[in-house]
């Protein structure tokens, strides 16, 4: 879990509120913003830092300190114009990662064109799942199989490069079970434990989320 990153969520509808709440409950620093005062008031009991503000105004974003935020989630799919403006302004302010919720494939393409680093269709990815992916920082496609077990696509850490699974002994160190590897975009369940891992290799693993968090210190 990477608590060193800071987050902002624009839009406190059901999706945005779920993202912000999950991030806050995971111990992250998160700023939640909406232009609707009623939504802000409703969310303030769950999310410590809620502001009522116009996220399409560059000066407002500067005053909110958005330039210092690592990841911004724009959850205003019903308002494409506002999403486009907020995306462009965040990138102009130097936000490294902007994730935008969109309502259609066409809107996704538009938001990509104006600078969104990632787009999300809500019917394909829930707000809670997005938040958990963000907090995993390096874990992607997190799927909860139960309260204690998740399946995750994991990057090969720099210190793992050139070593094989026998040498790393991930099961003993982190209680991680490697169930498949991805190389060149192809998934293989026929794992050779003596084959050295490369930077571009990705691992599909099953583990307890709390054990996975240890990988991020």
- For residue range 98-156, list pLDDT tens digits in order: 999 998 888 888 998 989 988 887 654 556 666 666 665 555 545 555 556 677 778 88
Q: Model pTM?
A: 0.62
Of 110, 135, 160, the last residue of a domain is: 135
Parent domain of 124? 6-135
Ranked by mean pLDDT, the top range of 19-28, 91-100, 149-158 is 91-100
Final residue of a structural domain among 90, 109, 135: 135
123 belongs to a structural domain: yes
- 8 A C-beta contact, residue 137 and residue 5: yes
Percentage of the chain lying above the pLDDT 70 cut: 80
Find the length of the chain: 217
In a domain? residue 1: no
Same domain? 144 vs 125: no
Same domain, 88 and 62: yes
Give the residues across from 31 on adjacent strands. Answer: 8, 49
User: 11-25, 47-61, 78-92, 187-201 — which is least confidently predicted?
Assistant: 187-201
Mean pLDDT of 7-18: 93
Domain count, the chain: 2
Q: How confident is the model at residue 1 (pLDDT cuts 50, 70, 90)?
A: very low
Within this chain, do residues 142 and 124 fall inside the same structural domain, yes or no? Answer: no
Q: Which token pair is 16?
A: 């945005």
């Amino acid at each position: 879990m990477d608590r060193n990153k800071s987050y902002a969520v624009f839009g406190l509808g059901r999706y945005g509120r779920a993202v912000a709440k999950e991030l806050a409950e995971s111990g992250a620093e998160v700023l939640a913003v909406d232009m609707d005062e009623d939504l802000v008031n409703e969310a303030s009991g769950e999310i410590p830092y809620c502001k009522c503000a116009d996220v399409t105004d560059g000066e407002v974003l500067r005053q909110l300190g958005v330039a210092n935020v690592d990841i911004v989630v724009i959850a205003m799919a019903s308002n494409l114009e506002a999403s486009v403006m907020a995306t462009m302004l965040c990138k102009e302010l130097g936000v490294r990662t902007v994730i935008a919720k969109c309502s259609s494939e066409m809107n996704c393409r538009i938001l990509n064109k104006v600078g969104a680093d990632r787009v999300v269709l809500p019917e394909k990815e829930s707000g809670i799942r997005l938040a958990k992916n963000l907090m995993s920082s390096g874990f992607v496609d997190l799927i909860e199989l139960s309260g204690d077990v998740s399946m995750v696509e994991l990057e090969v850490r720099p210190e793992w490069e050139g070593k094989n699974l026998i040498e790393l002994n991930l099961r003993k160190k982190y209680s991680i079970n490697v169930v498949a590897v991805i190389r060149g975009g192809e998934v293989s369940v026929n794992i050779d434990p003596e084959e050295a891992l490369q930077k571009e290799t990705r691992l599909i693993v099953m583990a307890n989320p709390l054990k996975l968090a240890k990988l991020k210190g």
